[in-house]
Amino acid sequence: MIIVAEGPTAVGKSRYANTFPPAQLVNETPGNVRPPDDADTDEASRFWVRCNEERWAEVLDREDGQGRAVCDTDPLKLHFAWTLARAGVSPTTDEFVRQLRLTRSAIGRKALGVADLIACVILPEEVLREQRMRDISRRRRNFEVHVRLAEPLREWYSALDFVDPGRVIWEWPDVSRRGDRRERYDLDLFDTWMARLPPL
């Protein structure tokens, strides 16, 4: 089983993910990993989708060895380009459009997939700010940008929840009673999900 902890910055993703055994945990891509400064949109999009594919491979390896993999943020991180555009942070939809094409191809090759259970927790902005202030272990230097992505992130996973009910839940789950595995590489599901999203 593959479980994803998702939500805006300071919501408690890492705290929740770290309640599982370390051997099951797949951490977020480090913040210092980024494409070369001179990369154009196509090169940057390929870079990020390749990073996502590498995480997915790690997820499958953890699941194979442990019976479960728990991801601190979704390896299918196409939502980041979409939420940036949806929130008006990104001036164009170019990066999302390119990553969408590459991601769809990766799903078709089973190099990326949709997790079995996605726990997406969205808290009010004032709560996120309070939790950020209490957590002195992390700088969260892009907090102001990331907090604007909370509502678009809800829209992203609400679209998946509509087309595949039960795959997304809106709280940190007690997974001791959950073991259902879902189809991960269904392009019809993926296309229906993308079509359900609000327009950019």
Other CB atoms within 10 Å distance of the CB of residue 163: 16
Strand order across the 168-169 sheet:
25-26, 69-72, 2-6, 117-120, 168-169
pLDDT of residue 108: 98
pLDDT of residue 97: 97
Interatomic CA distance for residues 200 and 42, integer angstroms: 19
Other CB atoms within 10 Å distance of the CB of residue 42: 12
State the total domains in the chain.
Answer: 1
> How confident is the chain (200 residues) per 10-residue block, as mean pLDDT?
91 90 93 87 96 98 96 96 95 95 98 97 77 62 80 97 96 74 95 97
Alpha helices in the chain (DSSP H): 13-17, 41-66, 78-86, 94-108, 125-134, 143-147, 150-163, 187-196
pLDDT of residue 135: 63
CATH number at residue 164: 3.40.50.300
User: What letter represents residue 122's amino acid?
Assistant: I
pLDDT of residue 163: 97
Range of the domain at 149: 2-196
pLDDT of residue 174: 84
